[in-house]
Chains A and B, each alone.
Chain A
């Protein structure tokens, strides 16, 4: 579904503008259709830059990328028709209701999708008349995904979708991602959350300094890099405590 060959992006160094450095450095990657693919890595590893090049937001300095056989750089508008994007910044025109905003997105794609259906998919059916500013963090992320679904995309890009969410909202978003994935949408997401990588993603690429340093299924990666079985925990972790005390019901 996604083929990336030797992709590069140069930026001037923040501390010395005359000097350039590679934010993404000769990256090659294949994402098969129907996967949930996770990109991990420390801040500044080049995760967002990679996504932005695939989305057409950032120019590609070297190499090439194809989504569904379409060259990203040569046919940006054809790419935009088949991808759905959730950006890290998820602010919208604040004087419009969610339904009106979704109507706008459907119009931008000339898509026949109905706002009510899209809101239903992300569990926000009762918020059609709400304004984005009235939403909680988790609801905002789900609304962002609803916007990204306006054109019935084949690939969905999620940039740190669970950063800043409470455990309930996080688990709810994972369930949504699995749902969308099982309906046939390929998902590429970036994350700092290792649980998310392990339990949600079918395959993982770990990036550092603009390069992929490991790529495999979570199980194989664990086998290869952390094979010792941990001492069987005598107890659960703090998240288990939190969920045991507060329940798994979504709070927003």
Chain B
């Protein structure tokens, strides 16, 4: 399939793309910015904004608030119920605790009220148990009783992994998808619009040489761009790659080929610049949110999980993540690789069906 003409074409395309500095920089801009923004955060959770209404104004209440304030999980703001209520509504406070006037004596039980915004149910589900545990700890401290046990958390993976480590393979996969799709699909439509495809069609060049040349050039560029991204993550942000780097690149190359051929399908369907923008976004955006790039697929509603799991980006992102985070070998990620292979077959078959030289050129 690779002959001298497709190699010549690949070299020409590569030269062209390398000269298009603006496009190179812009295609890297978002992923790099994103990685820097998220990578520089320490990985610690931000403290939970806790509003406290101190209606008791007694010594016990002060000790209680002091003990709660020692817990780094919470950032305490004291104020009137009215003020904190509106802070809650505006999202400046996550929960508001009200200590009643009767909260004076350690021996008599009193009811604390907690104001929450039920619209934030998802977050509350995580905050409330933590908060309740903190209250119990404060009570023990005030009553001076020893807990009968303590819990020590150990990470079985036994290596420090921050959000950047989770994010890196996803971001690699996402960047790989966007530059591949725009590299094949968007370019194809642009060449058609300018009449370049038509001009090439009246020369004896075979469509497969043209496609191979374009894909090869894009593949090289994609690997270079992802290497830059990987380099920034590892050398500047301290991300770690647990698995074999060659395996990682194998998946990167495979994934690029999949999205390049899918991009050719999109570019063959879309006849205008507007159409490719719309079709491209239709392809890119759902995958951006459903393919476990920024958060795991398990956290999606159960109804969409089966769909999310079979998206091409999910397979690529999962494969990269298993290698990068969990150090698995290619043999251990055969299911993901099989998924990638199926999408490659789909993309390749559709591209050869849809990319009819004469029709795409006209």
Chain A interface residues (CB < 8 Å from chain B): 55-59, 77, 80-81, 83, 85, 87, 89-93, 95-96, 100, 104-105, 107-110, 147, 151
Contacts and interface: CB of A to CB of B under 8 A. Distances in A.
Contacts of A85: 199, 202
Contacts of A80: 202-204
A96 B5 CA distance: 18
Contacts of B361: 57
A150 to B, nearest CB: 8
B196 interface: yes
Given A58-B362, A95-B16, 6 more contacts: A57-B358, A81-B204, A96-B15, A104-B12, A107-B9, A110-B5
B194 A77 contact: no
Centre residue among A91, A93, A105, A147 by max chain B CB count within 10 A: A93
B201 A57 contact: yes
B261 to A, nearest CB: 22
A7 to B, nearest CB: 17
A4 B310 CA distance: 54
A89 B198 contact: yes
Nearest to A144: B199
A95 B12 CA distance: 10
A96 B362 contact: no
Centre residue among A83, A91, A96, A108 by max chain B CB count within 10 A: A108
Tell me what chain B mostly uses at the interface: helix, strand, loop, or mixed.
Answer: helix
B5 A107 contact: yes
Contacts of B5: 107-108, 110
A96 B203 CA distance: 18
B19 A95 contact: yes
Nearest to B201: A57
Contacts of A147: 199
Contacts of B9: 104, 107
A108 B358 contact: no
B12 A89 contact: no
B200 interface: yes
B16 A87 contact: no
Centre residue among B20, B196, B199, B358 by max chain A CB count within 10 A: B199
A247 B17 CA distance: 42
B196 A108 contact: no
B195 interface: yes
A135 to B, nearest CB: 15
B10 to A, nearest CB: 12
A200 B20 CA distance: 42
B102 interface: no
Given A89-B194, A107-B5, A83 B202 contact: yes
Given A59-B358, A89-B194, A100-B15, A109 B203 contact: yes
Given A105-B203, A108-B200, A93 B358 contact: no
A57 B19 contact: no
B133 to A, nearest CB: 61
B145 to A, nearest CB: 75
A100 B12 contact: yes
A87 to B, nearest CB: 6
Contacts of B346: none
Contacts of B17: 95
Nearest to A76: B204
A185 B19 CA distance: 37
Interface string B1-33: 000010011001001110110000000000000
B128 interface: no
B195 A91 contact: yes
Given A89-B194, A95-B19, A57 B202 contact: yes
Contact of B204 (A90, A92, A109): A109
A89 B195 contact: yes
B16 A56 contact: no
A81 B217 CA distance: 26
Nearest to A85: B202
B201 A90 contact: no
Contact of A57 (B8, B198, B204): B198
